[in-house]
Amino acid sequence: MENLEAQFGLNQPLWVQYIIYLKNTVTGNFGISYQTRTPVGDMVFPALMNTLILLLPATAISIAVGIGIGMIAAWRRGTKEEVAMSGTTLVLYCMPTFWLGLLLLVMGVLYLGLPVGGMFTISFGPENAFARFSDLLQHMALPLATLVLGLVGQYVLVMKGSLLDVLTEDYMVTARAKGIRRRKLMWDHGFRNAVLPMVTLMALNIGLSFGGAIQTETIFSWPGIGLLTYRAILSRDYPALQGAFLVIAVAVILANLIADLLYPFLDPRVVA
């Protein structure tokens, strides 16, 4: 026991432990996992890559779908279709992501014969790149669907609200009075201005999507940073939990920084 404590540095006073932790972290040493006894750094970065393989397509799809549905909903405000779309969006928004994942897991496995979890079934050699890729896609389908359905609601609501705001602007009335076609009006005047708040939302949502990833990866045993977090919680593996937290935090902050730097290019009114 004493040996163990010494090995993990737990026999030192708290503040000494903290300083050692800071020093190690800055120099790229994230400590040793209690559970697997491997360096946390070696676990965390491959896991982050696996998460991004899932998260980036999910984000892209949900933004595209969210913008599309949001635009239709704003344009057809008050019609039956709009009520149906907004209702579905709200219901999706109120569902816990992990429960949505459970439902999709059950349906996918029972009716579509999709794999239960993980990323790959069997390891194909490099000559079998195509088989490997299609295997990955099959494993990805359900977690991807879960994440997209979990994320899309916010985008729809914000896009719809933002477009409704834009539609009532004076320049829209002017454009309409000039006799510009509806379609052109929608895209050139409406879409371009309404899509700006989406960039801010995207940046803010990166954190949220990591929350969704933790739940989704837990359900589908996707070997990413979320599953690593879940296993670390279950085995009270604090070094691994710290490592996961740090990596997620840094990834989110970097993404926000990029969004902030991109914003002036999209909206010339904002000065960097």
DSSP 81-146: HHHHHHHHHHHHHHS-HHHHHHHHHHHIIIII----SSS-SSPPPGGGHHHHHHHHHHHHHHHHHH
Distances 265 to 112, 189, 257, 269 between C-alpha atoms, Å = 44, 18, 14, 9
For position 145 contacting other proteins by CB under 8 A, the verdict is no
Nearer to other proteins, 49 or 253 (CB): 253
Minimum CB separation from other proteins for residue 245, in Å? 6
Span near other proteins by CB under 8 A; candidates 35-43, 133-141, 178-186, 241-249: 241-249
Nearer to other proteins, 29 or 235 (CB): 235
Minimum CB separation from other proteins for residue 181, in Å? 27
Minimum CB separation from other proteins for residue 211, in Å? 3
Q: Count the Cβ atoms, other than its own, within 10 Å of residue 251.
A: 18
Span near other proteins by CB under 8 A; candidates 6-14, 89-97, 135-143, 179-187: 89-97
| Dihedral over Cα of 194, 195, 196, 200: its sign | positive
| Dihedral over Cα of 224, 44, 63, 211: its sign | positive
Per the structure block, which two tokens stand in for 79? 């019609």
Q: Find, among 83, 200, 74, 224, the residue nearest to 147 by Cα.
A: 224
Work out the angle at residue 157's Cα, subtended by the Cα atoms of residues 196 and 167, and round it to the nearest 5 degrees. 60
Span near other proteins by CB under 8 A; candidates 14-22, 51-59, 91-99, 190-198: 91-99
For position 93 contacting other proteins by CB under 8 A, the verdict is yes
- What angle separates helix 196-220 from helix 225-234, to the nearest 10 degrees? 50
For position 50 contacting other proteins by CB under 8 A, the verdict is no
For other proteins (CB under 8 A), the number of binding residues is 43
CB 222 within 8 A of CB 143: yes
Minimum CB separation from other proteins for residue 17, in Å? 14
Distances 261 to 221, 222, 270, 272 between C-alpha atoms, Å = 35, 32, 10, 7
Nearer to other proteins, 175 or 233 (CB): 233
Minimum CB separation from other proteins for residue 12, in Å? 19
Applying CB under 8 A, among 20, 52, 61, 95 the residue interacting with other proteins is 95
Give 32's DSSP letter. Answer: B
Per the structure block, which two tokens stand in for 56? 């980036």
Q: Count the Cβ atoms, other than its own, within 10 Å of residue 73.
A: 24
Applying CB under 8 A, among 58, 67, 157, 195 the residue interacting with other proteins is 157
Distances 105 to 15, 21, 41 between C-alpha atoms, Å = 45, 39, 31
Site string for other proteins, 98-127 (x = CB under 8 A): xx--xx-xx--xx-----------------
For position 241 contacting other proteins by CB under 8 A, the verdict is yes
Applying CB under 8 A, among 9, 230, 262, 267 the residue interacting with other proteins is 230
For position 172 contacting other proteins by CB under 8 A, the verdict is no
Residues engaged in binding other proteins (CB under 8 A): 90-91, 93-99, 102-103, 105-106, 109-110, 157, 160-161, 164-165, 204, 207-208, 210-211, 214-215, 218-219, 229-230, 233-234, 236, 238, 241, 244-245, 248-249, 252-253, 256
